[in-house]
Chain A
Amino acid sequence: MESVSHQTHYFVPQPSRWPVVGALALFCLGLGAALAVNGVGFGKVSLGVGFAILFYMLFGWFGDVIRESLKGEYHGKEDTSFRWGMGWFIFSEVMFFAAFFGALFYVRTISVPELGNFEHKLLYPDFAAAWPLSTGPGITQPYQAMAAWGLPAINTLILLSSGATLTWAHWGLIQGKRASLTIGLGATVLLGVLFLSLQAYEYRHAMHELNLTLASGAYGMTFYMLTGFHGMHVLLGAIILAVVWLRVMRGHFNPEHHFAFEAAAWYWHFVDVVWLLLFTLVYWL
């Protein structure tokens, strides 16, 4: 990497069609989603079109970025920009999860206990505040909570080891050990996929055997919203890592120049940390 302090020129890309294409995609997605949740048939069409355009845009845009990177347009300053940019993006994701963790905190320490207190006895004489079960005076369908030390604990191990394999791969990349790189990265992706499959299994079990759904009051909603959004992030992270793996196979990276790898790794570790919080606050305590 060149010395940042002496670089006086900065890469500014040529006009590009991808941003407007992306804006069109989000318009179709927003409109489609609003119509679809209201059962308007055209909504699904619009959603489909939106996703199609979005993928077209992502392929094209990232393709351009990769080509620019391979042409050697990105030097020290550009690299620093990418690092800052990724860091702040992850911070925004942290705050998104914070909203849902905040909701979890609120229902557990404020609203559920309050609904069970003396003042509310007149309104809800039969309601006993308890977590995780019976989390709302209006929930009549009994359900069971998800135990922490079964599948979720295994999933914790899986994600933690995926963090380790990823670090191993990074070491391989830095030290020029190709085998550790490809195997470590591949293993990370597979562990991610394994995590998702187990989570899908867990959801099936929860819905069919525990009768636990999004509508199961304060517990069900925070459980599914938090683990669900986390799962989507695992999916996204696994896709990013898979793309990075393909790029590794094509020899796009060298020990000095591989920010795409690092960004994917940062993202993966972030998803990991969120899971640890989830495991502690949603499943365990």
Chain B
Amino acid sequence: MAISTTAGHAPHAHGKPTGLWRWLAATNHKDIGSMYLWFSFTMFLSGGVMALCIRAELFQPGLQFFQPELFNQLTTLHGLVMVFGAIMPAFTGLANWLLPLMIGAPDMAFARMNNWSFWLLPPAAALLLISFFVPGGAAAAGWTLYAPLATQMGMGMDLTIFAIHILGVSSIMGSINIIVTILNLRAPGMTMMKMPMFAWASLITAYLIIAVMPVLAGVVTMVLTDRHFGTHFFNAAGGGDPVMYQHIFWFFGHPEVYIMALPAFGIVSHIIPTFSRKPLFGYTSMVYATSSIAVLSFMVWAHHMFTTGMPATAQLFFMYATMLIAVPTGVKVFNWIGTMWQGSMSFETPMLFAVGFVCLFTIGGLSGVTLSVAAVDIQLQDTYYVVAHFHYVLVAGALFSLFAAIYYWFPKMTGKMYSEPLGKFHFWWSMIWFNVTFFPMHFLGLAGMPRRIPDYALQFTDFNRIASIGAFCFGLGQLIFLYNMLRSIRHGQAAPHKPWEGAETLEWQIPTPAPYHSFVEAPHVEAGDNGVIHSMTGGAHH
């Protein structure tokens, strides 16, 4: 039906709004996606500055710059800002930009709510950052906000709790949007089992977010009432238990790490086929692997709690369950390598970051398997080995995949080409200094250096120096990225219609840059695995 009946209101839908109002009142998925990405980058820089403060303090033993209290605040806020402010919004932003283009939808399913999801982020970030300036300073309990640390401390903790509530509302609404868009707005012909991997990854990630963000909201609410309203959730005097906090938190927390990893898997599953000029190897098994990771991720949370005095049977269960996750993850790595196998590969910046991702994420995954061994984890828990592990999966995993994605889709988003030499330089620079920063942390951890401390024993000095130098160089390198982006948006060469020879998904079938209103009418597509488009008809833009 609809073409005739809805044509009546079409005229006023054409204009592209201008000025500040375009952003404040946005209902366009591309505008909202861009805001998400810029917000995320800003948060990445502020979290990065905190990380550099930490590394500056740790350059040598003794207290140089910060009192322990402030050091703990910096560690906590670095973690929170990076997880909730940088990585998660970046993936949501990409999903906003790309999903409608990839599946042939006119926009996100709930365009207004989409804007609310975005605009809740700056207030939440403001609450987090304001908390540095209230009496008692920011939250200092670590990003995990463990009780009973979190049930003490000053107003900064309350600001953090409410910031988390707002972030939760934002990400739940964002996820509902993603799920409904994918389930309901796919173009005719784009069936679920033809859908591109990024869409699958976003779908499953959104499901995880809706399942666990409310649990996080619940547990920080318990912290709040313990703090101010006399409850004893985490206090043995009233029959509660601080360990209960850890159970509930990690029921959220472990799926959370997949929330930051699955979209990355989706991204590289686009980039590797494109630059190998081959279809993705084992598309169906990728879909099943992603789904089973999502299911398993709810059953492993207590691997973060091996030292809390769990019964041995529980330790064994969580240990084996965790190791089981390595299987679908291994399937993925195998498939990426299978895709590259005998492909005619070329190494533009997105591909460099994607291959870098595969190598380094695998290292992070392997150190994760090491940590899953309960007997070993008792030694390594809360040491720098853990810090090394999760930065391999978060920085070299999530963050590298994001860089890969930005370089890859930059031409489609802006209509310009980024500078390839600068991009390659950014990759090699990041690759080198990332490893200089984080690889020595494995040794520090194995030697017994605890995490979250401002000072350390003398014998750890050398590796800490190396790590600090690496961190500052790594941080500096990100300015190259910023420069490349800003310059290329203004002065970059016009991008060809399809800058990547091997790119076959739907977003590459439409003009470059993507028209402000794309797929105003749904196209008909004939698609193969992983969203590869064989033919497309219809699909108006303006």
| A complexed with B | yes
Q: Which A residues fall within an 8 A CB radius of B? A: 2-3, 5-20, 22-24, 26-27, 29-31, 33-35, 37-38, 40, 61, 71-73, 75, 77, 80-81, 84-85, 88-89, 91-93, 95-96, 98-100, 102-103, 106-107, 110-112, 114-115, 135-139, 213-221, 225
Query: CA A94 – CA B54 in complex, angstroms?
Result: 39
The residue that A75 contacts in the complex, of B1, B113, B517, B520, with Cβ under 8 A, is: B1
Check A107–B244 contact: CB distance below 8 A.
Answer: yes
Distance A140 CA – B184 CA, assembled complex (angstroms): 57
Contact A103/B222 with A16-B25, A115-B236, A136-B238 known, Cβ cut-off 8 Å:
yes
Q: Is the CB of B225 within 8 A of A27?
A: no
Q: Is the CB of A18 within 8 A of B112?
A: yes
Supposing A31-B159, A81-B184, A136-B238 touch, asked if A99 and B219 sit within 8 A by C-beta, the answer is: yes
Min CB gap B380→A, angstroms: 26
The distance from the CB of B261 to the nearest CB of chain A, in whole angstroms, is 20
Q: How does the 8 Å CB contact mask read for B513-536 relative to A, with 1 for contact and 0 for none?
A: 000010011100000000000000
Contact between chains at A85 and B110 (CB < 8 Å): yes
A89 contacts which chain B residues (CB < 8 A)? 172, 176
Complex Cα–Cα for A159 and B198 (A): 44
Q: Once bound together, how far apart are the Cα atoms of A35 and B155, in whole Å?
A: 7
Least distance between B245 CB and chain A CB atoms (Å) = 10
Question: Which residues in B have their C-beta under 8 angstroms from that of A72?
Answer: 5
Q: Which chain A residues border B112 with CB–CB below 8 Å?
A: 13, 16, 18-19, 61
Is A93 a contact partner of B155 (Cβ separation < 8 A)? no
In B331-383, the 8 Å CB interface with A consists of none
A20-B25, A112-B239 known; 15 new pairs, CB 8 Å cut-off, are A8-B3, A10-B185, A14-B12, A15-B17, A15-B26, A30-B159, A30-B166, A34-B127, A37-B227, A61-B112, A99-B218, A135-B238, A139-B239, A215-B238, A221-B232
Picked from A71, A92, A93, A107, the residue with its CB within 8 Å of the CB of B240 is: A107
Asked whether B239 lies within 8 Å of A136 as measured between CB atoms, the reply is yes
Q: If A9-B3, A37-B158 touch, does A221 touch B248 (CB 8 Å cutoff)?
A: no
A8–B115 contact, CB under 8 A?
no
Q: Contact between B1 and A7 (Cβ–Cβ < 8 Å)?
A: yes
Q: Indicate if the CB atoms of A23 and B106 lie closer than 8 Å.
A: no
Chain B residue at smallest Cβ distance from A40: B155
> Please, which residue of chain B has its CB at the minimum distance from the CB of A30?
B162
Which chain B residues lie closer than 8 Å to A91 at the CB level?
A: 210-211
Chain B residue numbers with a CB within 8 Å of A27 are 123, 126-127, 166
Cβ of B215 under 8 Å from chain A: yes
CB distance from B502 to the nearest CB of A (A): 30
Question: CB-CB < 8 A to A26: which residues of B?
Answer: 120, 123, 166, 169
Can you list 30 contacts pairing A with B, beta carbon distance less than 8 Å? Answer: A3-B1, A9-B6, A12-B13, A13-B27, A14-B27, A15-B25, A18-B116, A20-B115, A23-B120, A27-B126, A33-B158, A34-B127, A37-B158, A71-B9, A73-B6, A84-B176, A85-B110, A95-B212, A98-B218, A102-B247, A103-B218, A103-B222, A103-B244, A107-B240, A137-B236, A138-B235, A139-B237, A215-B232, A217-B239, A225-B222
Chain A residues, Cβ within 8 Å of B133 = none
Q: How far is the CA of A75 from the CA of B6 in the complex (A)?
A: 9
Q: Is B230 within 8 A of A214, CB to CB? A: yes
B511: min CB distance to chain A, Å = 19
Q: Is there an interface contact between B215 and A99, defined as CB atoms closer than 8 Å?
A: yes
Closest to A123 in B: B236
Is B251 in the interface zone, CB < 8 Å from A?
yes
The answer on a CB contact under 8 Å between A88 and B222 is: no
Number of interface residues of B (CB under 8 A): 90
* Secondary structure call for the B interface: helix
Chain B residues closer than 8 Å to A23, beta-carbon distance:
116, 119-120, 122-123
For A136, list chain B residues within 8 Å (CB).
232, 235-240
Complexed CA–CA distance, A93 and B213 (Å): 10
| Those of B1-31 within 8 Å (CB) of chain A | 1-3, 5-7, 9, 12-13, 17, 21-22, 24-27
Residue B233, interface by CB 8 Å: yes
- In the complex, chain B residues whose CB is within 8 Å of the CB of A75: 1-2, 5-6
Which residues of the partner chain B approach A16 to less than 8 Å between Cβ atoms? Answer: 25, 27, 112, 115
The 8 Å CB contact of A214, one of B12, B212, B229, B522, is B229
Complex: A214 Cα to B2 Cα, angstroms: 55
CB within 8 Å of A: which of B140-178?
154-155, 158-159, 161-163, 165-166, 169, 172, 175-176
Q: Are B239 and A88 in contact (CB under 8 A)?
A: no
B490 interface residue per 8 A CB criterion: no
Instruction: Decide: A93 and B127 in contact? CB cutoff 8 A.
Output: no
* Known interface pairs A8-B3, A102-B248; A30-B238 also in contact (CB < 8 Å): no
Contact of B238 with A14 in the complex, beta carbons under 8 Å: no
State A34–B210 Cα separation when bound (angstroms): 25
B255 to chain A, nearest CB (A): 11
**Residues of A close to B188: CB separation below 8 A:** 5
- Is B109 located at the chain interface by the 8 A CB criterion? yes
Identify the 10 closest CB pairs spanning chains A and B, nearest first: A138-B237, A99-B218, A218-B239, A215-B230, A27-B123, A136-B239, A15-B25, A19-B116, A23-B119, A30-B162
Binary CB contact string for chain B from 59 to 98 against chain A (1 if under 8 A, 0 otherwise): 0000000000000000000000000000000000000000
